[in-house]
Chain A
Amino acid sequence: GDSVTQMEGPVTLSEEAFLTINCTYTATGYPSLFWYVQYPGEGLQLLLKATKADDKGSNKGFEATYRKETTSFHLEKGSVQVSDSAVYFCALDNYGQNFVFGPGTRLSVLP
Chain B
Amino acid sequence: SAVISQKPSRDICQRGTSLTIQCQVDSQVTMMFWYRQQPGQSLTLIATANQGSEATYESGFVIDKFPISRPNLTFSTLTVSNMSPEDSSIYLCSVVKGGETQYFGPGTRLLVL
Chain A residues packing against B (C-beta within 8 Å): 32, 34, 36, 42-46, 49, 51, 89, 91, 93, 95-96, 99, 101-104
Contact = CB atoms under 8 A, between A and B. Distances in A.
Nearest to B43: A101
Contacts, number: 43
B107 A43 contact: yes
Contact of A99 (B41, B45, B105): B45
B102 A42 contact: no
A103 B42 contact: yes
B73 interface: no
A49 B42 CA distance: 19
18 contacts: A32-B100, A32-B101, A34-B101, A34-B102, A42-B107, A43-B106, A43-B107, A44-B94, A46-B101, A46-B102, A49-B101, A89-B43, A93-B101, A93-B102, A96-B96, A96-B99, A102-B42, A103-B41
B103 interface: yes
A10 to B, nearest CB: 10
A39 B92 CA distance: 14
A99 B102 contact: yes
A33 B111 CA distance: 32
Contacts of B104: 36, 43-45
A104 B37 CA distance: 11
Interface residues of B, number: 18
Binding site of A, secondary structure by majority: helix, strand, loop or mixed?
strand
Contacts of A43: 6, 92, 104-107
A51 B100 contact: yes
A54 B96 CA distance: 24
Contacts of A101: 42-43
Interface string B14-48: 00000000000000000001000000011101000
Contacts of A32: 100-101
Given A46-B102, A96-B100, A104-B41, 16 more contacts: A32-B100, A32-B101, A34-B102, A42-B107, A43-B104, A43-B106, A43-B107, A44-B43, A44-B92, A44-B94, A44-B104, A46-B103, A49-B101, A91-B102, A93-B100, A104-B42
